[in-house]
Structure 1
Amino acid sequence: MDIRNFFSKSSVESESCIESCNPENVGETDAEGNVEAISVSTNCSKDQQCSVAKKIIQKRTTLRAKKRKWNDDYTMYGFFRTTEELLNPYPSACCMFCPAIFGNSNLAPVHLRTHLKTQHPNHQNKSKAFFEASLRSQQLQVSSFESEVREGNKDLVLASLKMAHVVMKRKRPYTELESVVLPCLEIAADILHGGKKAIAKVREIPLSDNTAKRRCDDISEDLLKQLVIKLRKTPAYGIQLDETTDITDEAQLIVYCRFADSEAKTIVEHYLCCCKVGVSATAQAIFDKLNQFIKEHDLDWTKCKSVTTDGAAAMQGSTNGVVQKIKKVSPDCVSNHCRIHREALVVKKLNQEKNQRGDLDIVLSDVIKVVNFVRSHSKKHRMFSELCKDMKAEGLRLLYHAEVRWLSRGKVLKRVFQLRKELYVFLAQEGHVMATKFEDTFWLAKLCYLTAIFESTNQLNLSMQGKGSAIFEVASKVQAFKFKLKLWQSNVVKCDFSDFESLHDFIKTSNWEIENPNIESNIKSTVHKHLDVLQQNFEVYFPDEEYLNLNSLLWIVQPFLNEEFDLGYCELTSELIALRLDLVQKAGFKQSESYTDFWVSLLNIPEYRNLSQKAISILVHMPTTYLCEQGFSALVEIKSKKRNSIKDVDTLMRGALETRLLPRFVQLADEVQQQRSH
């Protein structure tokens, strides 16, 4: 009996195996599939013969499990390895002429030869060159197809990335891509291009919420990589930081940076990070989060030349504040108290004496009571709006006063002053006691003054807001306002109220001589006293020494001005002298858009590099925390009531707040594995 027939019977008893087995015909299959004879003595006992049969079974099982390596001679039988199988030591093989695929266990030449002979008899006697040419043609077709598919997939991924970036910029949820954008694209494809093919092509764009999140993560990571590379190259950078709580009461630390970008050839500002502080927003916790970010991205603390905060105790503490901890790792770092916050603290005080309310405090309190009376009830608010329409008023609504908003006080007072006639009519109809206030000429005069003075302080506040504000410009605006206060005081002594337009017009048009002859002297005393309080507060929060210290750095703003400056180092003084006598650089300074761009351009000139680095270490100072406040607004919009489960806020904040850097979409598309939306 042939050994192959022996193995086909799986349930043979050992005795029947011995009886039916003819030792002379027993053989074993070699690696080539041939049968080799196995010599078994006819004189063996039954137990010995059964043992031989068991060994044959074990031998055959071992041969079946044997793995086969690739042999280039298999090409002669019309078989090749796919690209995916090239690195596999025990690959499978594909036929060149049909879709047949032989597994690794079938890679025996006899099987390959049989397939070629039975399925492709026309090619069995062809030369080796024929099969090699067929293989090259096959590989070329596969490569062309894969390239076409890859290019098509890349376009889909590229579209997905750019759409995800738009969602980040607009601070919208991930789900809007698939639920809103995709249906709109289908409608546009159907109307503009027509047919199902256009709609099917649009549907291939990966826009599911999970895919959109991955795209946003990739974009944020790419933006961060670009920023870190620039920060490592810069000679100096400054930061501003502030802490707030989001809608879920988690403490979030927002940090911005300013540095000299040699590629952009100017001083730039970028969003740096947004970190969860933890349960206790202490100075140590804030510094640990910031230090962790700096260390993780291999940034140099010693290059940090400035840190700007809102002046809170945890930030600005003289012993254990965040600023002091930063100065320990960066000794050259200078701390700045946000000038906008300082200005808000200055104008907040209407009276110098503590625990006593002055005339202007009472007027402001009365205004807030009137606003709350009208706005606290929906029906009264609607009735007042209708009254304003009937009386053709400039505004139809009163504004709420919020203590934390910098411009709130001035805007509320201005709107109440504009609607004073309408308010008098409405309060009189309602029988409110505050109606008599709008008949009091002196009370109205004080309201006019408060409206005028807070309008001026709001203008100062607005002038300090914005991106790219330099320390020299902001300090100059504050100093100019301090001098204006002195001028206004001297004019008020003369009963000249022309500096306060609303008060000046009110006094001219009202019959104060008849109603209250002492109003002019009384208002003069009130205004003069408040201006004196303002001036004293400005001296406390904006001392003259601060402005005078900046005067010693005037060579940064006007490097070619012929004045002597003590730069502290003889080498820097020599470079400044050489720069002033350099006619080429003088012409370059005139052509530069700003003095900041000029100093950045000098970084590439060795003879002025030290001087330019010194100038840039001053120019990276950030005078306000305006960008952090802007980041807080974005945080409120991103982590809203409907999206309060967002954990990684930093990713979305980076995409929304980064304005100068753009994601490298093509590079990202090459790295992303395409997945269709489903």
Structure 2
Amino acid sequence: MSRVMHGDKLAAELEQVPLSDGTVSRRITDMAQDIKCQLIDRVKKSGRYSLQLDESTDVSSTAQLLVFVRYIFEGKLNEEMLFCTQLEGSCTGEDIFNKLDSKLKDAGLSWGECISVCTDGAGAMLGKKKGLKARVLQVAPHLNFTHCIIHREALACKTLNAEFKHVLDTAVKIVNYIKSRPLNTRLFSTLCNEMGSEHKGLLLHTEFRWLSRGNVLRRLYELRDEVRIFLTDQRSPLADHLSDADWVTRLAYLSCIFEKLNGLNVSLQGENTNILYLNDKVQAFARKLVRWRERVEMGRIDMFSELEEFMEENALSVNSIKASITAHLQSLLDHFYKYFPEGDAPDQYDWIRSPFNVTTANHLASDMEDALIELSTDRTLRTALDGKTLDEFWVSVALEYPQLSKAALDVLMQFGSTYLCEKTFSALTYIKNKHRSRLNVEDDLRVGISKIKPRVDLLCSAHSAHPSH
């Protein structure tokens, strides 16, 4: 890094500085502890906070509990890793609660100040009797539990009737036939080069990564001619499917619909999202499903471009697949309504989204509704909203409209997904690999991903420049 930033001369000088085996590790620990102290101080000053947490197993088969916190600091909501700690034993809801409760107490944080907890919905997390949710609600009955919206979207999408499931399973077999054999992979790549194909290979499907389905199907559909030729040369019976126009038609549809589902999934990811924004995305997609079904019933498939193109090129009638597509879209819609009840995105929160366009809110207490009327007619505040995020705006009016501000921030502060945990587990996999499997990863993670800068000057002043030996 020093060579890139300052040149070879300074890098060479730094290489001459003698460091013991544990020096770098100790300095990382020092910086991590300083960041942690700053974070806990900020959370305490915030007055209330929300959590997202998830559990995963690292390369050494050790269960790691990762917890993120959202809090108010410097006029807006901030997100940081609160801690990453090992779980011993069976990792039940009781185990997770005990570890979480102990860590919060060590940090001096109270359950009474916690607004909500977001988890991935596993049994150990949301079990009604022995899950984490049950144990937390015993000590904090006011707290709101949310099931990760990204996880719910993945569950809602896992619906295929026998007809489309057969196509998907066969597609996976075709890909695995080529990708699981190194020789086949090389031969297929050579064929793609000879045919001038845009892609030089297929993508491997994995059940664990839901997004892989859409990418795998799209790549297979785009390389269908190359795959058919290759399988024919290999005398594989799988080649017959790619010569079947009816089968390829269904493959084209699956490629299109999974691409749209993937697009929704990606739109739900990211930092600094709130439950209102995420639910709006889901509700919009559900409305699209309704409209797509209606269009297919009318014989329109232009929203599925690859499917439309294939059917036009082969002079196929939409009627041959209309019933199958409408049934699948209806099944998808039913599952979306199951995992995302319309109550997840009620209109009662419109006053938070657009405070200057909503002047009545019957569900609010009279004094709060009166305050909303006053706020909505404040032209100065209307101007102040421009250029600010929702959380920044509601933090900024806390002194003038404390009740409204608190109610709005109690909603905006809630995590809607466990995206930060999933993203950080990816970083953990890189940091704690098979070559460093004994690493206690929390300090390295904190220094690596935290937006809080360590107070290096303060840390340096606490160390002697020339320690005696």
The two structures have a TM-score, normalised by structure 2, of 0.95
Aligned partner of 1:524 among 322, 344, 355: 322
CA distance in 2, matches of 1:502, 1:430: 27
Note the 1:661-672 alignment, pairs <5 A: 661-672=452-463
Residue-by-residue CA offset, 1:557-588 (whole Å, 9 max, x unaligned): 11222431135434433332332343332332
Question: Gaps spanning 5+ residues in structure 2: where?
Answer: none
Aligned partner of 1:546 among 323, 344, 347: 344
Note the 1:198-213 alignment, pairs <5 A: 202=14, 205=17, 207-213=19-25
Amino acid at match of 1:620: M
CA distance in 2, matches of 1:215, 1:570: 55
Aligned partner of 1:643 among 432, 436, 439: 436
Amino acid at match of 2:48: A
Aligned partner of 1:233 among 42, 45, 68: 45
Note the 1:483-632 alignment, pairs <5 A: 483-512=287-316, 520-548=318-346, 551-590=347-386, 592-603=387-398, 605=399, 607-632=400-425
SS in 2 for 1:445: helix
SS in 1 for 2:117: strand
SS in 2 for 1:209: coil
Contact kept? 2:202, 2:216, Cα under 8 Å:
yes
Residue-by-residue CA offset, 1:325-356 (whole Å, 9 max, x unaligned): 222222321111111111111111112xxxxx
Structure 1's 532 and 202: CA in aligned 2 closer, same or farther, altered over 3 A? closer
Contact kept? 1:235, 1:613, Cα under 8 Å:
no
2:134 alignment counterpart: 324
Q: Greater CA deviation, 204-213 or 376-385?
A: 204-213
Amino acid at match of 1:593: K
Deviation of 1:593 after TM superposition, in Å, equals 1.9
SS in 1 for 2:67: strand
Amino acid at match of 2:51: I
CA distance in 2, matches of 1:466, 1:511: 42
Contact kept? 1:186, 1:203, Cα under 8 Å:
no
Note the 1:188-337 alignment, pairs <5 A: 188-189=8-9, 202=14, 205=17, 207-261=19-73, 263=74, 265-337=75-147
SS in 2 for 1:370: helix
Amino acid at match of 2:365: Y
Question: Gaps spanning 5+ residues in structure 1: where?
Answer: 1-165, 167-180, 193-197, 352-357, 513-518
Structure 1's 374 and 563: CA in aligned 2 closer, same or farther, altered over 3 A? same
SS in 1 for 2:52: strand
SS in 1 for 2:345: helix
Deviant stretches of 4+, over 6 Å: 184-187
Residues 1:401 and 2:205 aligned together = yes
Residue-by-residue CA offset, 1:522-564 (whole Å, 9 max, x unaligned): 311111111111111111111112222xx10211111222431
Which structure would you say has the larger RCO, counting Cα contacts within 8 Å and 6 or more residues apart?
2
CA distance in 2, matches of 1:315, 1:496: 44
Equivalent pairs, count: 469
Deviation of 1:434 after TM superposition, in Å, equals 0.8
Deviation of 1:203 after TM superposition, in Å, equals 5.1
The two structures have a TM-score, normalised by structure 1, of 0.67
Amino acid at match of 1:387: L
Deviation of 1:310 after TM superposition, in Å, equals 0.7
Note the 1:9-28 alignment, pairs <5 A: none
1:151 alignment counterpart: none
SS in 2 for 1:256: strand
CA RMSD of aligned residues (A): 2.2
Residue-by-residue CA offset, 1:14-33 (whole Å, 9 max, x unaligned): xxxxxxxxxxxxxxxxxxxx
Percent identity reads 36
Contact kept? 1:274, 1:650, Cα under 8 Å:
yes
Contact kept? 1:315, 1:322, Cα under 8 Å:
yes
CA distance in 1, matches of 2:192, 2:466: 58
Contact kept? 2:351, 2:358, Cα under 8 Å:
no
Deviation of 1:455 after TM superposition, in Å, equals 0.4
Contact kept? 2:359, 2:376, Cα under 8 Å:
no
Larger radius of gyration: 1
Structure 1's 237 and 613: CA in aligned 2 closer, same or farther, altered over 3 A? same
Q: Greater CA deviation, 561-570 or 467-476?
A: 561-570
Contact kept? 1:236, 1:616, Cα under 8 Å:
no
CA distance in 1, matches of 2:333, 2:204: 28
Deviation of 1:292 after TM superposition, in Å, equals 0.9
Contact kept? 1:347, 1:534, Cα under 8 Å:
yes
Contact kept? 2:77, 2:391, Cα under 8 Å:
yes
CA distance in 1, matches of 2:84, 2:174: 40
SS in 2 for 1:667: helix
SS in 2 for 1:433: coil
SS in 2 for 1:331: coil
Amino acid at match of 2:329: L
Deviation of 1:661 after TM superposition, in Å, equals 0.9
Deviation of 1:266 after TM superposition, in Å, equals 1.2
Contact kept? 1:470, 1:619, Cα under 8 Å:
yes
